[in-house]
Amino acid sequence: MPLVATLGLERVEAWRLGDEAWADLRRRWRSEGLVMSCGQPGGPVELENGTRFFRHFSKCDAHEGGVESPEHLSTKALVAEVAAECGWTAQVEAPSADRSWIADVLLTKPGRKPVAVEVQWASQTPETFAARAKRYRADGVHCVWLVGPKNHGRGDWNIDGDAAALLMETPAEFGGPTSMAPMRGALHALLSGAIRGGVEVLVDAVDVTTAMSKCHNPQCEAWFSYWFIEAVEVRSRCAHTRQVDFAREYPLWVRDRVETVFQSDVRAAFARSGLPSATEYRMTHSKQTNTDYMAQRCPRCFWHLGDGFIAGKPRRWETYTVSVPATALPWQPELTNLHHVCHDVGNGFCKVEPQQRGGAFPARVDADGDPLPALPALRIRQRVVKPPLPQGRQTAHTRSVR
Ligand SMILES: [Zn+2]
Ligand SMILES: [Zn+2]
Ligand SMILES: [Zn+2]
Ligand SMILES: [Zn+2]
């Protein structure tokens, strides 16, 4: 059931024709000949709900993804309509030069790579998705899949509903939930460029969890503050604030600890507060496992204090928020590869450069020191600012047990 045909020498798109032009086509098609986008002769059809398209007189193999449903037709028409509103030139059922593919809707714009929007309601195997995407790639066309419930998760954007009420998945602002929304608005956000594939964030504060203790070195016995960063407060270029949870897991043998990035600011904040001096993070070598790792040491005598075991011990842990100058961190790509609705609040739009190799946060390693995948989606939270570090002299006795 194509939407596009040639009437005589004229290209006609059924969904775009007004009532008069449609009536005119119905008068002329028998005498002038109507050839559809697939090259087969066809005839005009109008459904009760007003959907207009062309039908085959015989079987045709040119249309991938099975028989076209009313949903498929109206989705294609809507994509073309919204794309045109967003400044694209939209062509429905656009064949490649050699007819090796027919894009449901092909979008072009000067200076931009062409985009094929493929609408897939009928079930399609992951292999077929890959094969069809590969053909587009070979021709320098970027392919975007809108996939119905039978293919959810196999494409770029899930769609749902029926021809009368089409729905499409749309992301929220940074950190917000993805939702199913009326397709017109969702397409508008996507095709106008409001949805960005990466979020660019700077850290502007860190949540420091701390407990005071006494140095194990019998020659020292100074009071100091153990500390580690439980979460960082981030602000996106589009001015949304969230919290990235580093969890209290404090894995062992980690080299890229986020504390080293912020320790001069954090330790200066402790020095200004009523709490004892903060420990220092420094690379240490473990003879036992023959690995280098980041450990804490006494700020006064530099006695080695260890790493993860510190946080595992029950102590009077308290969490405070410490402001830091806006700082970019190398993030795990899963954390920044998040579709979101981006706004220009005077700083431009989020732009994420491809990650260089090397340390990235949150860093996790297994017992052998090999990197573990991060769990980023779970780590982005609503921002909850904690109290600042307490002022006035604090001692172990003035503090309550949590
Ligand atoms: Zn056909
Ligand atoms: Zn399709
Ligand atoms: Zn000491
Ligand atoms: Zn943004």
Q: Kindly report, residue by residue over 8-55, the tens digit of the pLDDT.
A: 878 888 888 889 999 999 999 999 889 887 788 999 998 877 788 888
CA angle (260, 263, 265) in 5-degree steps: 145
User: How confident is the model over 87-93, as a mean pLDDT?
Assistant: 92
User: How confident is the model over 241-258, as a mean pLDDT?
Assistant: 77
Whole-angstrom distance, CA of residue 330 vs CA of residue 362: 9
Maximum alpha-carbon separation in the chain: 105
**Is there a single domain that holds both residue 178 and residue 247?**
no
> What is the whole-number distance in angstroms between the Cα of residue 218 and the centre of ligand 3?
8
> What is the whole-number distance in angstroms between the Cα of residue 239 and the centre of ligand 4?
8
**Residue 372: its pLDDT value, please?**
64
Average pLDDT, rounded, for the chain = 86
Beta strands at 142-147 and 115-120: parallel, antiparallel or unpaired: parallel
Mean pLDDT is lowest, of 7-16, 112-121, 351-360, for 351-360
- Asked if the structure places residue 345 within a domain, the reply is yes
**Is there a single domain that holds both residue 254 and residue 227?**
yes
Residue 54's domain comprises 1-62
Residue with tokens 């949590």: 402
The answer to whether 213 and 223 have CB atoms below 8 angstroms apart is yes
- Asked if the structure places residue 397 within a domain, the reply is no
User: How confident is the model over 56-79, as a mean pLDDT?
Assistant: 79
Q: Kindly report, residue by residue over 371-386, the tens digit of the pLDDT.
A: 666 554 557 888 888 9
> What is the whole-number distance in angstroms between the Cα of residue 268 and the centre of ligand 2?
60
Whole-angstrom distance, CA of residue 107 vs CA of residue 118: 11
Q: DSSP letter at 371?
A: B
Whose atoms come closest to the Cα of 101: which ligand?
A: 2
Take residue 242 and report the two structure tokens written for it.
């969230």
**Residue 378: its pLDDT value, please?**
56
Helix (H, G, I), strand (E, B) or coil at 259: helix
Whose atoms come closest to the Cα of 64: which ligand?
A: 2
> What is the whole-number distance in angstroms between the Cα of residue 344 and the centre of ligand 1?
44
Whose atoms come closest to the Cα of 103: which ligand?
A: 2
| C-alpha pair distances (Å), 197 with each of 19, 163, 230, 240, 311 | 40, 28, 27, 15, 36
Whose atoms come closest to the Cα of 116: which ligand?
A: 2
- Asked if the structure places residue 122 within a domain, the reply is yes
> What is the whole-number distance in angstroms between the Cα of residue 219 and the centre of ligand 3?
8
> What is the whole-number distance in angstroms between the Cα of residue 302 and the centre of ligand 4?
43
Residue 399 has pLDDT above 90, yes or no: no
**Residue 240: its pLDDT value, please?**
92
- Asked if the structure places residue 303 within a domain, the reply is yes
User: How confident is the model over 329-344, as a mean pLDDT?
Assistant: 84
**Residue 366: its pLDDT value, please?**
61
Q: Kindly report, residue by residue over 194-248, the tens digit of the pLDDT.
A: 898 889 999 999 999 999 999 999 999 999 999 999 999 999 999 999 998 887 6
Mean pLDDT is lowest, of 66-70, 71-75, 97-101, 271-275, for 66-70
**Is there a single domain that holds both residue 234 and residue 362?**
yes
**Is there a single domain that holds both residue 99 and residue 56?**
no
**Is there a single domain that holds both residue 90 and residue 216?**
no
Report the DSSP beta bridge partners of residue 125.
none
**Is there a single domain that holds both residue 85 and residue 18?**
no
> What's the CATH number where 98 sits?
3.40.1350.10
Q: Kindly report, residue by residue over 121-135, the tens digit of the pLDDT.
A: 999 999 999 999 999
Q: Which residues surround the ion ligand 3 when the cut-off is CB under 5 Å?
A: 215, 217, 220, 222, 298, 300-301, 303
- Asked if the structure places residue 387 within a domain, the reply is no
User: How confident is the model over 136-161, as a mean pLDDT?
Assistant: 95
The residue among 193, 214, 230 that closes a domain is 193
What is the percentage of the chain residues whose pLDDT exceeds 90? 52
- Asked if the structure places residue 234 within a domain, the reply is yes
Considering only CA atoms, which of 330, 313, 327 is closest in space to residue 256? 330
- Asked if the structure places residue 113 within a domain, the reply is yes
**Residue 400: its pLDDT value, please?**
43
**Is there a single domain that holds both residue 27 and residue 127?**
no
Q: Kindly report, residue by residue over 171-200, the tens digit of the pLDDT.
A: 988 888 889 999 999 999 999 988 988 899
**Is there a single domain that holds both residue 363 and residue 235?**
yes
The residue among 148, 165, 193 that closes a domain is 193
* Domain count across the chain: 3
Whose atoms come closest to the Cα of 66: which ligand?
A: 2
- Asked if the structure places residue 93 within a domain, the reply is yes
> What is the whole-number distance in angstroms between the Cα of residue 93 and the centre of ligand 2?
9
**Is there a single domain that holds both residue 31 and residue 71?**
no
Helix (H, G, I), strand (E, B) or coil at 82: helix
> What is the whole-number distance in angstroms between the Cα of residue 66 and the centre of ligand 4?
38
The residue among 62, 85, 104 that closes a domain is 62
**Is there a single domain that holds both residue 45 and residue 96?**
no
**Is there a single domain that holds both residue 225 and residue 336?**
yes
**Is there a single domain that holds both residue 307 and residue 366?**
yes
